[in-house]
Amino acid sequence: MPSSNVRHPIVRQLEMINITKSFQGVVVNDNVNLELSSGCILGLLGENGAGKTTLMNILYGLYQPDAGSICINSQPVRIKSPTHAMNLGIGMVHQHFMLIGNHTVAENIALAYTETPFFFPQTEIRGKIKTLAESFNFEVDPDREIWQLSAGEQQRVEIIKAMINGTSVLILDEPTSVLTPQETRDLFRMLRRMKKKKHAVILISHKLEEILDICDEVLVLRKGRVAGRTNLDQVEKRDLARMMVGREVAFSVNRQPIAHKEIVLNVEKLKVFNDKGLTAVDGVSFQVFRNEIFGIAGVSGNGQKELIEAITGLRPVESGSLKINGVEITNLDPKTIFNHGVAHVPEERIKFGIAPGLCLYDNCILKQHHLAKFNKPPFLAYGRIKEHARDLVSKFQVKTPSLDIATGHLSGGNIQKLIIGREISEKPALLVASHPTHGLDVGATEYLRHQLLDIRQEGGSVLLVSEDLDEIMELCDRVAVMFQGNLMGIVDPDVSRKEDIGLMMAGTPAVSKEPG
């Protein structure tokens, strides 16, 4: 970034020394030490709930440590608030973007800029946006409203917000969890430019491939403590996984062939509109069988979201038909569709997957509170509900200090594990899983993939939407590819078809609609 934008001393060296933090008696960070120099990209790696985000929230001034200290350029500092952190040259982009949807890009950035002039601020803000965009070689339209932007475009706005006040240390919390592969590549190009300009970056992640791709060094946390720190030219993927979870991790699964005869989901000539009233799903037809994991691949924004919302009752169907086990469910409400045996792990887990303000045990029975086993008329049977919640927390390794905690206080990965456990618990005929491993660490991802295969083995079926092509290839019996609301084809997920699937994702129809 040009020096004219830097109002604070450059952070050449940053140290967090013996940082300890507890919540409700649960130690989240336990004597953690972190060092960072300018021009370095440091990966902060760990399982869900390992304390990564808490540590960075301390550095950003959102939390105060119970013990330990922070030094910038060898000088001790007590970071009192995010504003104080920004004044010290530290910026943070959170996992869930903090933007005002019905305001423009320029208006959102003006709210973060500490020197926004009172009169006619537009000229100065536009100038700052242009300078930063040119410096890091990406495009941002100051006049577009936030709701009109893709996740990658919104992230660029968040980065400009963080950098506009002269930030020299940028913290990114799970920055690729909502990005397409192309947007991820664009982000990494931007980070490499920042590194060349002597900015420092802390990248919170549990994606081993990304850490190995972009970072210079990695600090691994496990259960709140430092499990190791190393240069990335000295380790491999398996080494990092072992440091994260304390054991060997299997990166592949064994999917045994099973015959498919009984149709569970039948989708016929489905047409669905998006939020702007435009066609998002255009005459799509396919079937999902019992004992099958059926994958839907494609770049985000090609109708997958609207298709899933139509199947689960969250979006009206304009025309066409949806049937579960031969029963028409088109345009029924979500509760009724659930009662017909359709469970749903949504893409937007906070918006559609939980009630953030309710206790964890209440969230364990969302959509299920009417079931007899959770009722003791005229009241809910909270004893049985809490026992059910304890079972889910244990089985799906949800890290929480208490069943009474508001679910919104859990880490994103632990929320995802809770949702998946809840949806699987009733053994649905069809599990609709939209990006289920987004936000999960390598150990939890391994566990979840085996859970999906268990559903298949036990006679259930799974409709899996994912942008992770390796995941699709490993788990699915058949793969459909969506492009601009249409199915480009349905193919077998063997290695020889991987290039075909990639071409289909770019709009090239398959040679054959069905395998074999």
Q: Whole-structure pTM over 0.85, yes or no?
A: no
In a domain, 41, yes or no: yes
Containing domain of residue 496, as a range? 258-341+428-437+457-516
**Beta carbons within 10 angstroms of residue 272's beta carbon:** 24
Longest dimension (CA), the chain: 70
User: Is the same domain home to 170 and 194?
Assistant: yes
Residue 86 host element (H or E): helix 82-87
Domain count for the chain: 2
**What residues are paired with 376 via a beta bridge?**
379
Fill in the amino acid letter for 303: G
Judge contact between 206 and 466, C-beta under 8 A.
no
> Which of 245, 267, 282 is the endpoint of a domain?
245
462 conformational bin, left if phi > 0, alpha if psi -120 to 50, beta if neither:
beta
User: Which positions ≥6 away from 47 have C-beta within 8 Å?
Assistant: 206, 222, 244, 245, 413, 441, 442, 443, 444
> Which of 217, 245, 273 is the endpoint of a domain?
245
Give the tens place of pLDDT for each residue, 326-383.
Answer: 999 999 999 999 999 999 998 878 878 899 999 999 999 988 888 888 888 888 889 9
Q: Report the pLDDT value the prediction gives residue 1, as an integer from 0 to 100.
A: 38
In a domain, 372, yes or no: no
User: Is the same domain home to 20 and 97?
Assistant: yes
- Give the Å distances, CA to CA, from 474 to 24, 102, 251, 289, 487: 41, 40, 10, 18, 21
In a domain, 266, yes or no: yes
User: Is the same domain home to 287 and 213?
Assistant: no
CATH, residue 308: 3.40.50.300
Q: Report the pLDDT value the prediction gives residue 501, as an integer from 0 to 100.
A: 79
Greater model confidence, 149 or 511: 149
pLDDT classification of 513: cutoffs 50, 70, 90:
very low
User: Is the same domain home to 238 and 270?
Assistant: no
Least confident residue range of 117-126, 252-261, 448-457, 491-500: 117-126
In a domain, 415, yes or no: no
Q: Report the pLDDT value the prediction gives residue 6, as an integer from 0 to 100.
A: 41
User: Is the same domain home to 222 and 303?
Assistant: no
In a domain, 229, yes or no: yes
Is the model's pLDDT at 395 over the cut of 50? yes
- Give the Å distances, CA to CA, from 459 to 7, 26, 453, 493: 62, 40, 10, 21
Q: Report the pLDDT value the prediction gives residue 269, as an integer from 0 to 100.
A: 96
Is the model's pLDDT at 66 over the cut of 90? yes
In a domain, 195, yes or no: yes
Give the tens place of pLDDT for each residue, 102-145.
Answer: 888 888 888 777 666 666 667 777 777 887 777 767 777 788 88
Judge contact between 30 and 20, C-beta under 8 A.
yes
User: Is the same domain home to 229 and 139?
Assistant: yes
> Which of 193, 223, 245 is the endpoint of a domain?
245
* Distance from chain centroid for Cα 292: 25
